[in-house]
Each structure stands twice: as C-alpha cells, then as structure tokens.
Amino acid sequence: LAKTTQPISMDSYEGQEVNITCSHNNIATNDYITWYQQFPSQGPRFIIQGYKTKVTNEVASLFIPADRKSSTLSLPRVSLSDTAVYYCLVGEGETGGSYIPTFGRGTSLIVHP
C-alpha cells in the first residue's frame, strides 16, 4: 500500500511561510500527489495537486523532487484562517485499475497571532 507520513502537528505565526513535507516512498508511476485542507466540522477541501517539479496556484505551492518520494506543501504568509488539518493524498493503483485514495494522518497546523 502506498502510505504517507507527515508531521502530526506544526505551529506558526501570522505572516510566516509554512512548509509541510509528506513522505510517500511507494508512490506509483501514474499517481498524482494531492493536498487537502480540512477545517473542523467540514469535509476536506482541495488545495493543490502535482505530478513532479513545482506547481503553484493562488493558495499554495507544491514542490516535488525528481524521485517523487516526498512532496512539500508551502503556504506563503499564513494567517489565522489557515489553521486547519492538511492531508497529503497519494493515489494507489494502476491506470484503469482500482484506485484507493489513502489519506495520511494529516498535519494539524496552528497559526498564532
């Protein structure tokens, strides 16, 4: 099974850049890496997705090294509203085969004033 490993928790302060790294040693060739954000009492919400190198959108950046065995979610200048749990998701399975999304345990990010 493709498993992910993330830090359980992180603390930061408003205005700082936060980097959360996820390890996924068994990632399959055709798998994408997807990060989700979850606030209390809500379902996970898509943040960013990538396959290799770097991806950037209006919310975050995702850095993926050449071996794809890890990925780093970067949140620039966090605010209090970024306090949430962040999940790294790596699909398991082959193209056309069974796809079992495996969420990591998540990283609980707390942003302090």
Partner 1 sequence: GAGVSQSPRYKVTKRGQDVALRCDPISGHVSLYWYRQALGQGPEFLTYFNYEAQQDKSGLPNDRFSAERPEGSISTLTIQRTEQRDSAMYRCASSSYDSGDGSRTDTQYFGPGTRLTVL
Q: Which is nearer to partner 1, 36 or 62 (CB)?
A: 36
* 35 is an interface residue for partner 1 by CB under 8 A: no
Strands 33-38 and 45-50: antiparallel
Identify the burial level of 64 via C-beta atoms within 10 angstroms of its C-beta, where 0-12 means exposed, 13-18 middle and 19 or more buried: buried
Cα 47 from Cα 55, distance rounded (Å): 11
39 binds partner 1 per the rule CB under 8 A: no
User: Cβ 25 to partner 1, closest distance in Å?
Assistant: 18
Is 16 among the residues that bind partner 1 (CB under 8 A)? no
**What amino acid occupies position 107?**
T
Q: Which stretch binds partner 1 (CB under 8 A): 16-24, 41-49, 60-68, 71-79?
A: 41-49
**What residues does 56 pair with on adjacent strands?**
61
Q: Which is nearer to partner 1, 13 or 51 (CB)?
A: 51
Task: Give the nearest distance from C-beta 108 to partner 1 in angstroms.
Answer: 9
> Residue 36 in 3-state DSSP?
strand
